């Protein structure tokens, strides 16, 4: 009697285990699951590519510095650039009778950072 109970329990447990394994595998093979797995692999590949590009850039900068030292080019190339241009903007004020004769009111105003270029076409 105990022998039959043991084998019945072992068979039931094996059946439950096999059913659970099959259901998990079937869930992994659904289209949604396959799409999620593909997206995860793509993200992983993107991270690996980014890391590779950063390593290449670091190696390139290091090699460039080594070559610069070997050739005696230690000065910074940006130090020879001219100063940033400033755009002249004339202040738009309505002229009064006193302003017409006062030459100090017609001063040119300089802007450091303009939002638009000085030759912007306002017609369109």
pLDDT tens digit string along 66-110?
998 888 786 665 566 666 666 555 555 554 445 455 555 555 555
pLDDT of residue 72: 79
Verdict on whether the full-model pTM lies above 0.75: no
Phi-psi region of 72 (alpha: psi -120 to 50; beta: other; left: phi over 0): left
User: Nearest 5°: phi and psi at 114?
Assistant: -100, 150
Say if CB 86 and CB 109 are below 8 A apart: no
Given pLDDT bands bounded at 50, 70 and 90, which one contains residue 16? very high
Alpha-carbon gap, residue 86 to 114, rounded angstroms? 9
Sign, CA torsion 42/45/47/52: negative
Say if CB 33 and CB 27 are below 8 A apart: yes
Q: Please give the mean pLDDT across all residues of the chain.
A: 78
Given pLDDT bands bounded at 50, 70 and 90, which one contains residue 55? very high
- Per-position b or e across 11-41, b if 16+ CB within 10 A of its CB: eeeeeeeeeeeeeeeeeeeeeeeeeeeeeee
User: Nearest 5°: phi and psi at 76?
Assistant: -85, 130
Given pLDDT bands bounded at 50, 70 and 90, which one contains residue 64? very high
Q: Between 119 and 16, whose confidence is greater?
A: 16
């Amino acid at each position: 009697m105990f022998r039959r109970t043991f084998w019945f329990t072992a068979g039931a447990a094996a059946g439950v285990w096999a059913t659970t394994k099959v259901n998990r595998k079937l869930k992994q093979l659904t289209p949604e699951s396959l799409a999620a797995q593909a997206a995860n692999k793509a993200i992983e590949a993107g991270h690996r590519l980014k890391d590779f590009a950063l390593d290449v850039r670091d190696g390139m900068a290091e090699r460039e510095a080594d070559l610069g030292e070997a050739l005696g080019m230690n000065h910074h190339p940006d130090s020879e650039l001219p100063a940033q241009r400033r755009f002249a903007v004339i202040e738009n004020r309505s002229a009064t009778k006193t302003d017409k004769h006062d030459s100090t009111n017609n001063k040119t105003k300089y802007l450091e950072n303009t939002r638009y270029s000085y030759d912007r076409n306002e017609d369109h």
